[in-house]
Structure 1
């Protein structure tokens, strides 16, 4: 049975003994056609130089580590008991893709978790850290076991980055050493005994996906910055949410720091990290010195060399014992050997599902904030429209006036002025005696009609034309604000790239935008004469009915006066002259004058009654003028000025209500998914 990795080294380090090896592990044959190359040991007086993975610069020979030969793919063996996890992941993928407009990167991570459940695999131990923390040195120190591994295995581990880029590298176990893009296979005793692959994650856009796909995560920190290193910014929270995370502080502590102060500083930093679904994350913390561990391994390799002299071997063993114990790599190696828990694939898939649910809930929370913001925007749009229209109405001439009197500049004041001007005409040019003296009754209709046509509420008309200009400006402002608000709420809220939405924005409504555009074309603009129809209508009513009726009354009054006077004079004259000669000439003259005076008096009575009827009709027409102007003003504001903002507000409010209902439905689905996953996790734990 193969010895456990690290046990022989620990025993040597603790007892200070020189091992007596019966046989070395067989050398690893490369996957090329060239014969096996034997490892040349150094002279006793020198220590062999080692090419550390963190500082490798020269490319390896092209034929030194060839790709493995093609092998037939084995039939996939699905993970047992993963049906409920698959169902949950499928539901989350559906929600992400079609319902919430989630991240395409998260959708890909959920799909990767589904694919991972389709076939059993080895465990995955992810290692990530800033380059200054030396994560590659930590991996080399953990993987290298001089007592169990051959020199070729050690060399393959050390030179794993020679001739490659800085992509994420997966180191897996195989009986033969081979290299593929992004993968290295070596017969490492650590990989064999742990049953896990080591994945060295490089900072980049795929770091989170690799971290989620791992079954355990090792975060390598330098003792100065700890978790504030830029390389850990994106992966820290997902790693802590997995619950199986190991912090490794690599390097010599500063003179003023101790392990306790570093632990306290790390705990303080982690307090400010928001871990979805894990308010108090658990973790392990180890302090190692990978450089010392690698020096110890080099010294042990030199001591085990067959050509080494006795004194050199003793010195090498002393160096090994000192550096290996001081590096503390042995306890870390023992911890990582058991870092992969039982049922790791199912646990990893369930953890990905939990984190995807947490992300989806954050998206829904963001949408709910957008809902609140949208409601505020809609309310602001309504308030802006209502405030603008209300202010314009309060300043308008149609609302001026009080019930107890007449206010200057109001419609009542303008009507009262017109009435006073017409009354002056009645008292002067159109008085009864003036009409009788001029014998021109047509002047009544001409003068009154001319005044009403030119002067009736002229100041009110000018004010209404001015207010129409103000409403036109308000119409344009509110229309532009409505369009801008609708398009602003319909714009995407997520950045471009892998985190961009794969579904539409919750308030994206091309139908609403098209309706607003059509409405903007169909609504006529407010023109100078838009507010004048009630005034024009009442003026025309005065000219077409009231003034002609006054004209007829004036004609009737004048004809009555003329007829009565002529009849009285004629009768007096006939009664005075022969053959009747009934009365004397003086009497006839008196009767004639009396008939003329009576005719004038009767005509004046008729004219006064005609004027009273005129003022009665005037009051009926002008009293409704203000009401007509108020109604028409409000109708104009509603139909022409407020139509677009109210339509936009109503449409957006409907979208908000629909999205609110949809969010409640999605939150219910996520809650049921969380309960299902919790039950599954509890069942797996038992």
Structure 2
């Protein structure tokens, strides 16, 4: 069924972009400097892919690509994904140099025409000393009726060789080609039973190391077995499930798991059924193209030994046949024959088989390199997930702190807060002073009203609250140091080649830590208390002026009343002449007394009204104090306590978003290249 036109067009543009990149690979390495070459990491390549091509326009995709063209495409792509082996903790088989070398050799091999008769190379690699790889080779090459010296020659083939070297077994006279060399000629019909001659390259056993772990220097040199395995026509991996962890085995990128002709031989006893759990693990982890065989080479050797001891006995022949058949060693030969038959074409002859093997090997190398790229990209995803979890954990700690700090400092809002309690206590203390300043007592302290009230405010204004806030400043400082250390530890957890190892971000956080405004001082939370206490100065001065006006008003009323009374008596004595009031002396005296008393009560009322107005100003200042304290606390938390972890989280989230976009584009490109290999 044809795909959606938008998707097809997008794939065509992506292939065209890769075509432009791969055209540079045919030139010198100097000409490839135009390709993006960002910083590479040990756990993931520094993925800096090219921008996605626009879906508009008409850019036809390359058609009918040859294996050489596919190698060019892949080589250009590898330079953007795989890290250099110069980086720390980079396995050789995960490095750019390894795959450039492998693909370069394969490309050179395709350029040379096939001449003469060769042999298909079968590489046998045992995972661990107890894998049973040598026993498997013994069971394959040893013939039941061969002379004893020929059997000894095969079984003792490693006796005079260094275990770190590989051994090449080919058909020929039963002799070692040269003393100390790694080539051994054996006359075994097994090597001649296939459509074309084959030879076995036996590799030394090695314990696998998990992918993307810290690799020791002595473990980085893996080309001794990796190069022959990846360049083999048929790689055979032998392992013992009792001594080899399957998860570790399949994570070993130095083994060509995606090779078309790869065979995994599980050595297990033929007398014991295969555990269902082992089969489930194999089918869950093994690639779909990998052929998995269960073989018992030890039983096959015992069967050969039984026949060799008494070849004339019918019972020995029967035990040999039963033992060798139940060991399932013949299934390995059948699998090899099936794979070679698939390459056979009678019209082209043996040379055609070798041509197809070489082309298939090139495509397998491309597939293997893309498999490493996919593992590298997957490692980038795992690293991104780890960074996201670290950022989420740090963000969760900050959110928990911000949710609790308000109630810890000011108390639960549902109950009476610490600020309201402190204001009530301060009001009770100042109220005693204000109650003593009655209208009559105010007359004797009229010049000290402001000083008396200010002194009472200083004694009572939120002293306990101020001490509690200073204590909370210490807790804020401890939390600041803890969260700042957590942010620095998160950044330091990324290895140096990692994309998330940002020196710029570390320098930014260091600059924030050394700024004068970073430290939390005792006055950081108490400043609103001083500010609001200062705001009470104006109402207090207004109260002082009201007291002075009240006293002046009282004095004026008394003097006015005395003047009216005196004028009445003076009129009675005819001292005023023509300015007579026209009232009696008694009436004038009463009117004067009324004027004096009314003026005094009016002034006292004015004083009491001034005190009520002062208390209203007190309430407004108190209400603003709680708002200011909460706003100051939030500002101190945001700008001082959490400034370093907040900056770290924001920058890391931006880096995570950028990395996710890059990884998504690289996965699309890998998929396109893998599909091209399948179409081959």
TM-score normalised by length of structure 1: 0.67
Match of 2:479 among 452, 464, 474: 474
Matched, 1:170 2:168: yes
1:17-66 per-residue CA deviation (whole Å, 9 max, x = no partner) reads xxxxxxxxxxxxxxxxxxxxxxxxxxxxxxxxxxxxxxxxxxxxxxxxxx
Aligned residue pair count: 549
Name the structure 2 match of 1:203. Answer: 205
Which among 535, 546, 569 is matched to residue 576 of structure 1? 569
Distance 1:674 1:514 in 2: 42
| Correspondent of 2:544 among 551, 554, 559 | 551
Match of 1:530 in 2: 524
Tell me which residue corresponds to 2:647: 647
C-alpha displacement of 1:161? 3.8
Q: Is the 8 A contact 1:435 1:441 kept in 2?
A: yes
Task: Name the residue aligned to 1:433.
Answer: 440
Q: In 2, Cα distance between the equivalents of 1:374 and 1:236?
A: 22
Correspondence for 2:373: 360
**How far off its partner does 1:625 sit?**
2.1
Counterparts in 2 of 1:339 and 1:323: CA distance versus 1, 3 Å: farther
Displacement after TM superposition at 1:590 (Å)? 4.7
Distance in 1 (CA, whole Å) between partners of 2:519 and 2:432 is 41
Contact 1:125–1:199 under 8 Å retained in 2: yes
Per-residue deviation, 1:227 = 5.0
| Partner of residue 615, structure 2 | 615
- Partner SS for 2:82: helix
CA apart distance, 1:347: 2.1
The equivalent of 1:37 in structure 2 is none
Partners of 1:333 and 1:509 lie apart in 2 by: 52
Change (3 A) 1:654 1:138: closer
- Structure 1 position 655, deviation (Å): 1.7
- 1:93 aligned onto 2:78: yes
Equivalent residue for 1:458, pick from 444, 458, 463: 463
Once residues 506 and 567 of structure 1 are traced to their aligned partners in structure 2, the CA distance between those partners, rounded to angstroms, is: 92
Q: Deviations over 1:169-226 (max 9, x none)?
A: 22457999643876326486866895433211111254454333321245678xxxx6
CA RMSD of aligned residues (A): 4.6
Residue matched to 2:18: none
Q: Structure 1 pair 338/179, CA: closer, same or farther in 2 (3 Å)? A: farther
Whole-Å separation in 1 of the counterparts to 2:511 and 2:418? 38
| Equivalent pair of 2:473/2:525 in contact (CA under 8 Å) | yes
Q: Against the structure 1 CA distance between its residues 667 and 525, is the aligned structure 2 distance closer, same or farther, given a 3 Å change threshold?
A: same
Cα distance in 2, alignment partners of residues 132 and 580 from structure 1 = 143
Assess if the C-alpha contact under 8 Å between 2:154 and 2:186 holds in 1. Answer: no
Judged with a 3 Å threshold, the aligned counterparts in structure 2 of structure 1 residues 289 and 219 are, in CA distance, closer, same or farther, namely: farther
Q: 2-side partners of 1:464 and 1:211: how far apart?
A: 70
Inter-CA distance 601–137: structure 2 relative to 1 (3 Å threshold): closer
**Is 2:125–2:202's contact at 8 Å kept on the other side of the alignment?**
yes
Pairing 1:387–2:367 present: no
Cα distance change on mapping 1:354 and 1:286 into 2, 3 Å: farther
Q: Give 1:10's aligned residue.
A: none
Shift of 1:280: 6.8
Counterpart of 1:123 in structure 2 is 120
CA 1:572 to 1:400, structure 2 compared with 1: closer, same or farther past 3 Å? farther
Structure-2 change in CA distance of 1:351 and 1:573 (3 Å): same
Q: Secondary structure in 1 aligned to 2:121? A: strand
2: CA distance between counterparts of 1:639 and 1:650? 14
Equivalent-residue separation in structure 1 for 2:152 and 2:160 (angstroms):
14
Shift of 1:486: 3.1
Structure 1: gaps of 5 or more residues = 1-79, 300-314, 493-503, 681-686
Task: From 348, 361, 371, give the equivalent of 2:361.
Answer: 348
Q: Distance in 1 between matches of 2:598 and 2:478?
A: 64
In the alignment, which of 224, 233, 245 is matched to residue 215 of structure 1? 233
**C-alpha distance in 1, partners of 2:266/2:546?**
113
Q: Which residue of 2 aligns with 1:678?
A: 678
Work out which of the two has the higher radius of gyration on C-alpha atoms and give 1 or 2.
Answer: 1
TM-score by length of 2: 0.67
Quote the offset at 1:619 in angstroms.
3.3
How far apart, in 2, do the equivalents of 1:409 and 1:285 lie? 78
**2:264–2:292 contact (8 Å) kept in structure 1:** no
**CA distance in 2 between partners of 1:240 and 1:480 (Å):** 43
Query: How far apart, in 1, do the equivalents of 2:69 and 2:288 lie?
Result: 22
Distance 1:265 1:623, change over 3 A: closer
Determine if the alignment matches structure 1 residue 244 to structure 2 residue 238: no
Report the CA distance shift for 1:347/1:296 in structure 2 as closer, same or farther (over 3 A).
farther
User: Counterpart in 2 of 1:445?
Assistant: 450
The secondary structure found in structure 1 opposite 2:520 is: coil
Aligned partners of 1:535, 1:82: CA distance in 2, in Å? Answer: 79
The equivalent of 1:411 in structure 2 is 419
* Cα contact 1:247–1:283 (8 A) shared by 2: yes
Partner of 2:17: none
Change (3 A) 1:473 1:344: same
**Superposition deviation, residue 595 in structure 1:** 4.2
Q: In structure 2, what is the Cα distance between the partners aligned to 1:146 and 1:400?
A: 90
What is the CA–CA distance in structure 1 between the aligned matches of 2:251 and 2:648, rounded to whole Å?
44
| Conserved 8 A contact 1:475-1:641 | yes
* Cα distance change, pair 87–536 in 1 and its aligned pair in 2 (3 A): same
Q: Which runs of 5+ in 2 are unaligned?
A: 1-64, 113-117, 207-221, 344-352
Q: Write out per-residue CA displacement over residues 349-398 of structure 1, whole angstroms, 9 at most, x where no aligned residue.
A: 3234334433433443344344334333322322211111211102332x
Q: How far apart are the structure 2 equivalents of 1:249 and 1:420? A: 88
- Give the C-alpha shift of residue 285 in structure 1: 6.1
Is the 1:425–1:431 contact (alpha carbons within 8 Å) kept by the matching residues of 2?
A: no
Greater CA drift, 349-358 or 236-245: 236-245
Instruction: Answer yes or no: is the 8 Å Cα contact 1:212–1:239 preserved in 2.
Output: yes
1:93-123 residue CA offsets vs partner (Å, 9 max, x unmatched): 3354259997432336534531441226753
Q: Is the 8 A contact 1:124 1:197 kept in 2?
A: yes
1:482-536: per-residue Cα shift (whole Å, max 9, x none)?
Answer: 2223333x248xxxxxxxxxxx335322222222222222252222221112221
In the alignment, which residue of structure 2 is the partner of 1:278?
288
Please say which of residues 646-655 and 165-174 is displaced more in the overlay: 165-174
Q: Does 1:541 align with 2:549?
A: no
Whether the 8 Å CA contact 2:67–2:363 is kept in 1: the answer is: no
Quote the Cα distance in structure 1 between the aligned partners of 2:332 and 2:553: 132
**Alpha-carbon distance in structure 2 between the residues aligned to 1:413 and 1:332:** 88
Matches within 5 A, 1:369-384: 369-384=382-397
Stretch deviating more after TM superposition (441-450 or 584-593): 584-593
* Aligned twin of 1:566: 559
What SS does the corresponding residue of 1:199 show, helix, strand or coil?
strand
Question: Retained in 2: the 8 A contact 1:123–1:345?
Answer: no
List aligned pairs for 1:311-330, cutoff 5 A: none
> 1:265 maps to what in 2?
274
